[in-house]
Structure 1
């Protein structure tokens, strides 16, 4: 095959080589730890980032191995049916290198938080993609999704999945504007733990979707620099999250039980947001632990349910 007729497409993030006949070839992308080249025809993928697993699931790309979601020994419930044959290769905190090697991946998709030490080890197994955008970078999850689409040769499919999110979010925003007064749209997202709630950064994935649908996510200045959530709040200090709306995210299925238990505290039950029935319990595995087009659709489901409850 002659390589003379090729078109080099270069952006700030990527350098992709496409032959004139349209065949996808090797791709080099910029990552947190420098440029990484991935061979064409990727077939076997390991994801060490729940958002990466979501992106691949959104485009129906089977993933060989992935880390378990927080609070579970397997992947998130909303992805289980889409990845029925997946193998678990670790947790969000620790990767099982032997399990990764066993999968013989063509590429490893990781998160921005992967350390340089871990990267150097994993990159000896397969090209390892570590996005350069941290959680508080505007639209970081979208940039990640596009990056993962490029390295797997599925950019068009990923773009289509993102477009579906945008279309639906725009429709929901119209409902928000028709249903909720402009000065009553402030919202907190709190991950509800046994010891108490933690306020999640307004810049995280779920916060960006709330903003996209017309809400005003808050975090009250409670987060330390570079942290995605606050320290655990005591029930005595919980008044800080008493705004127009409260999203209660739990890492298991007992969200309603957690809400009922919290209401046993007079400090919680007296909150205006509780008394006005503006509290929504949601799946923390989606709202506070992952990202991606499929997770976005779940978040949008919950936002629509919140609106429906106001009628």
Structure 2
């Protein structure tokens, strides 16, 4: 005796195909579930986030370098928009506050899948952000290797392979460029604020890049190990920031104006770097505030143009 199937053959085939596709999608989603180690413990994230809010230049650099456009970001340090060097990668992004004060309502309005925050975020703010979306704060501080920070963000974004490729690209470029650097050359990186100059620690992102090229750090910069920069230096003490080459970074028009005025002073003109015409103005958003793959490439561009044989 034969029984007619309860589903026509064509419908049964279609149902089976849909079931297989659904199982495959579930398997992919489950496979993508991962645990990210953060400054505030483990954070579980499913799938590949598509709506990302970044709270800090480093997080924005990382997201852009991994091929994603965030839906929200902070205005840069000393600025009113995201860093200019990232705009060609991200286009216009909704601003959700400043480095000093993220706006929780603006962040919530973007309905993020994940929030990538900078090191140094307070636990109180972290707990509030975590009510909106999984929030990733990398382990460490501003002295942590940029590669570790990028990998942490990449894991949250399900982009670990891409991050490894970006890091390898920078390593390869450093290896090639180091062969073309002048021997026995001391460099200093100075952020010029409206209040005056501060020499940046050589243990930060930029200093580590310069040392990896075989360039020697300024003696004062090398002693600064527990904070990003020195106190404001008077013009009389500016010689402490001297070097064979000086890279002078400004964050805004007020800083540029202060630098222009100071460069006319006798104390500035007595600097070894100034007398040798080896003082270079650079973008402060990159050289004294950001870190990451895109920032590294821009810094290496500046160094190659200035120092490479």
TM-score, with length taken from structure 1:
0.85
Query: Does the Cα contact within 8 Å between 1:262 and 1:269 map onto a contact in 2?
Result: no
Which protein is richer in helix relative to its size?
2
Query: Does the Cα contact within 8 Å between 2:201 and 2:224 map onto a contact in 1?
Result: no
Query: Does the Cα contact within 8 Å between 1:249 and 1:281 map onto a contact in 2?
Result: yes
Number of the residue aligned with 1:263: 263
SS state at 1:82 partner? helix
Number of the residue aligned with 1:171: 176
- Against the structure 1 CA distance between its residues 111 and 128, is the aligned structure 2 distance closer, same or farther, given a 3 Å change threshold? same
Deviation at 1:64, TM superposition (A): 0.5
| Stretch of structure 1 that moved more, 57-66 or 225-234 | 225-234
Structure 1 gaps, min length 5:
3-17
| Equivalent of residue 112 in structure 1, options 82, 105, 119 | 119
Deviations 1:125-164 (A, max 9, x none): 1111011111223x2x110101111111111111111211
Aligned residues: 286
Deviation at 1:243, TM superposition (A): 2.2
Deviation at 1:23, TM superposition (A): 7.0
Q: 2: CA distance between counterparts of 1:225 and 1:85? A: 36
Query: Does the Cα contact within 8 Å between 1:199 and 1:230 map onto a contact in 2?
Result: yes
Deviations 1:97-131 (A, max 9, x none): 00000011111001111011110111111111011
Deviations 1:177-196 (A, max 9, x none): xxx222xx222111011221
Number of the residue aligned with 1:189: 189
Number of the residue aligned with 2:160: 155
Query: Does the Cα contact within 8 Å between 1:255 and 1:282 map onto a contact in 2?
Result: no
Q: 2: CA distance between counterparts of 1:188 and 1:224? A: 13
Deviation at 1:87, TM superposition (A): 0.6
Structure 2 gaps, min length 5:
1-18, 21-25
Deviation at 1:166, TM superposition (A): 1.2
TM-score, with length taken from structure 2:
0.86
- Against the structure 1 CA distance between its residues 120 and 204, is the aligned structure 2 distance closer, same or farther, given a 3 Å change threshold? same
Query: Does the Cα contact within 8 Å between 2:248 and 2:282 map onto a contact in 1?
Result: yes
| Equivalent of residue 32 in structure 1, options 16, 39, 42 | 39
Structure label with greater radius of gyration: 2
Number of the residue aligned with 2:217: 217
Number of the residue aligned with 2:302: 302
Query: Does the Cα contact within 8 Å between 1:262 and 1:268 map onto a contact in 2?
Result: yes
Query: Does the Cα contact within 8 Å between 2:192 and 2:256 map onto a contact in 1?
Result: no
Query: Does the Cα contact within 8 Å between 1:70 and 1:289 map onto a contact in 2?
Result: yes
Number of the residue aligned with 1:233: 233
Q: 2: CA distance between counterparts of 1:117 and 1:36? A: 16
Deviation at 1:266, TM superposition (A): 0.3
Q: 1: CA distance between counterparts of 2:252 and 2:305? A: 19
Query: Does the Cα contact within 8 Å between 1:222 and 1:230 map onto a contact in 2?
Result: no
- Against the structure 1 CA distance between its residues 122 and 219, is the aligned structure 2 distance closer, same or farther, given a 3 Å change threshold? farther
| Stretch of structure 1 that moved more, 273-282 or 295-304 | 273-282
Deviation at 1:80, TM superposition (A): 0.9
Q: 2: CA distance between counterparts of 1:194 and 1:85? A: 28
SS state at 1:147 partner? helix
Deviations 1:243-302 (A, max 9, x none): 222110011378876554322110110111110122111000001111110111110011
Deviation at 1:26, TM superposition (A): 1.1
Number of the residue aligned with 1:11: none
Deviations 1:177-218 (A, max 9, x none): xxx222xx2221110112210111111111111111111223
Number of the residue aligned with 1:124: 131
CA RMSD, Structure 1 to Structure 2 (Å):
2.3
